[in-house]
Structure 1
Amino acid sequence: MPPAPEGAGSTARALRIGATLVLAGLAALGCRAVHLPLPWMLGPLLATAALGVAGVPVMASVRLRNLGLALIGVGLGLHFSPDVAALILRIAPAIVLGVLWALLLGYLFYRMLHRLHGGDRATCFYAAAIGGASEMALLAERAGGRVDRVAAAHSLRVLLVVTLVPLTLQAFGVHGDEASATAATAVRLPGLAALAVGAAAGVVLLQRLKAPNPWVLGPLLATLLPCAAGLELSALPPGASAFGQMALGVALGTRFTPAFAQAAPRWLAAVAAGTLAMLVVSAGYGWLLGRAAGLPAATAVLATTPGGIAEMAITAQVLQLGVPVVTAFQVVRYIAVLTLMPALFALELRLRP
């Protein structure tokens, strides 16, 4: 057989990525037509996940995913006005309680997984932690756990959370609150350029510091700081948020492959059951915490939901549910879980040898 022409692989890859984006866009328009929440994220996510499990060779672009995450980070940062920054400081004790709840919830989920499924404790512990998939998989690998099962558990958890939470909120007729307004409402080219430069600098800085999730946290911090200081630089152009959601939805959906569906069905069933239980108890806890902290109930529920930063913040942004509050809860929880998990696992091994 003659060798493939040079560049044939890259051309095929580009065609697969382009076809995936077209299908994702059509799925988003379909979801929008039937008035589903988060159509630009849910449509691409569900469509690519279904096609991937069926064996269709869908593919995501890492560069487009990173650009989408950066746009999401900038969009979230624009919500942090000086008044919002003061609000975040006021509810700091509630944010700490949210972190403690996430740690407790992850531990209970771990105990459930270990009881139902057995297996090594490192795999169960890091699969149950309410953290990022790649970060928890890396920690599990260092502890001798199974990376594939940890990654599969987090992918399934995020899929269920991103799908069920917006649909449930819409079914209950949840409306937004006044805390969702952005600091800037008009597109200004000089300010937009400053946002782009700041976002790029934030990504580079966090990458050099080897910080987790630099494509979201870098642009978020670079935008948050001037907005919290009272600077109104620029709003994002129309369509930027939709593109970011679609890029994120495709990136999440392409994790699901035939191998994912066929591997360890009992394990995935246990993860699904635990995720559903966590959603129910987290909703109750969020409602109680919202009443105690003086936050809207829907905002507090979303802030304590066991999802990811980008996914939960985008849900809050689209549904207008206190974006800065949800973002603050999710970012602080993300950093705390990532930092504390190795020490907590070591403690678990000492207490339960």
Structure 2
Amino acid sequence: MLDRLLASHPCAVLSGWAVAVFGAVVWSGAGGPLPWLLGPMVAYGLARGLGLPLREWGWGRALGQCVIGVGLGTRFTPEVVAGLAERWPWLLSLAVLALLPAPLGMWAYRRWGGLDRIGSWLCALPGGASEMAVLAERHGVPAAPVALTQGLRVALVVSLVPWSLLWLPGELAPVGALRSAPGGTVLAWQAGLFTLAWAVLIAVPTAALHRRRWPNVWMMLPLLATAVLMSLLPAWTAHRPLGLALTVPAAALDVAQLLLGITLGSKLDAQAWRQAPRLTAVATGVVLTSVALCGLVAWCAAAILPPGPAPWLTHYLALAPGGMAEMALLARQSGAFLPEVIATHVLRLMLVLALAPGLLRGVASRSPSAPLPPATPP
């Protein structure tokens, strides 16, 4: 009777939240990095692996991404936007460099993962898990291995990169306090109401675009819309002291990170290892190699590109093959130049989504055993 009650949808979701909060508190007490993201991820994954009937809230990931998108968009002041406009060729170059580990990953998935050429490319490209799974279905490739490897990629990168930053020597070490939760802002009631109204307003078109299957829209649209508003707001209010300001409280960001941690933890449970142990082992090796290559490329980029704030750290997080929301949170807390990290990840995702269909058709045309995918989705 108790097992049946816990397995019901509301109880399973609430139990998952309780496990996630417990993981965040323990992780924070142990001094771990990003406690409200990594703590829930590890605790939720372990609980699922032990067989607890936990379920993820369907709108949890979307809500978390929307809050984080608004919070990160507040960093795009007019001065920051002007600086990014001057550096756009270098940002595009970094986005292209972020794709360099993909051919190596494709080779590894094909040789040791038992996948065909199209499936190997879809597992290796650093796009979103849902977007790559949709491409797999459109091209007649099983979507389960693609979703598994893409989810593991993000979860493993989020697990590895913060710890690697804690052990950096001297000048490469983050200037922020990775071991503490992000600081917050005490909200005046006008700023709080304005931020809440803006979040609700931007959620309406975001939900509409989500129904049309736009990629990563719950992160991208709130972030870009808030960035545009922040870059224009000073000019609008220069001669009209309306007292408008966008500020997201620390508690809201903590809850958003917790919801994302639950999503990532659902990809790290023992079920994935039991279903496809060889593929998950290959994915782990690919992620480790990609992270090491990104660190090396970031070091070269820091020496070649025009200097900026925390150059190696910024380039490293911009090149890391993790999710945009997770890498942006890490950049926010570690002292990296957040707008450059976000801009590079946005460009990388756009490149992957633009180039992937043509790449897959080219791969299929050279492979007699693979059917030629359709030019347009059915």
Q: Same fold (TM over 0.5)?
A: yes
- The offset of 1:110, in angstroms, is 0.5
- Aligned residue among 68, 72, 78 for 1:76: 72
Letter paired with 2:125: A
Give the Cα separation in 2 of the matches to 1:314 and 1:10.
32
Give the Cα separation in 2 of the matches to 1:171 and 1:202.
42
- Aligned residue among 184, 195, 198 for 1:192: 195
1:234 corresponds to which residue?
Answer: 246
| Pair 1:12 & 2:11 matched | no
Q: Percent identity?
A: 32
- Residues 161 and 199 of structure 1: CA distance in aligned 2, closer, same or farther (over 3 Å): same
- Aligned residue among 240, 245, 256 for 1:244: 256
2:240 corresponds to which residue?
Answer: none
User: TM-score with structure 1 length normalisation?
Assistant: 0.90
- The offset of 1:17, in angstroms, is 1.0
Of 27-36 and 312-321, more deviation after overlay is shown by 312-321
2:167 corresponds to which residue?
Answer: 171
Of 84-93 and 203-212, more deviation after overlay is shown by 203-212
1:275 corresponds to which residue?
Answer: 287
Letter paired with 2:306: A
1:304 corresponds to which residue?
Answer: 319
Give the Cα separation in 1 of the matches to 2:196 and 2:18.
29
C-alpha contact 1:158 1:307 (8 A) present in aligned 2: yes
Instruction: Write the deviation string for residues 14-35 of structure 1: whole angstroms up to 9, x where unpaired.
Output: 1111111111111101111121
- Residues 192 and 290 of structure 1: CA distance in aligned 2, closer, same or farther (over 3 Å): same
Give the Cα separation in 2 of the matches to 1:160 and 1:293.
31
Of 343-352 and 46-55, more deviation after overlay is shown by 343-352
C-alpha contact 2:128 2:150 (8 A) present in aligned 1: yes
Give the Cα separation in 2 of the matches to 1:304 and 1:176.
19
Local SS of the residue matching 2:321: coil
Q: Structure 1: state its 5+ residue gaps.
A: none
Letter paired with 1:105: P
- The offset of 1:302, in angstroms, is 0.5
C-alpha contact 2:6 2:12 (8 A) present in aligned 1: no
- Aligned residue among 56, 60, 65 for 2:61: 65
RMSD across aligned positions (CA): 2.5
C-alpha contact 1:79 1:324 (8 A) present in aligned 2: yes
Of 270-279 and 260-269, more deviation after overlay is shown by 260-269
User: TM-score with structure 2 length normalisation?
Assistant: 0.84
Local SS of the residue matching 1:332: helix
Letter paired with 1:82: P
Count the aligned residue pairs. Answer: 343
Give the Cα separation in 2 of the matches to 1:110 and 1:165.
22
1:345 corresponds to which residue?
Answer: 360
Letter paired with 1:327: I
2:307 corresponds to which residue?
Answer: 294
Q: Structure 2: state its 5+ residue gaps.
A: 235-243, 369-378
- Residues 190 and 134 of structure 1: CA distance in aligned 2, closer, same or farther (over 3 Å): same
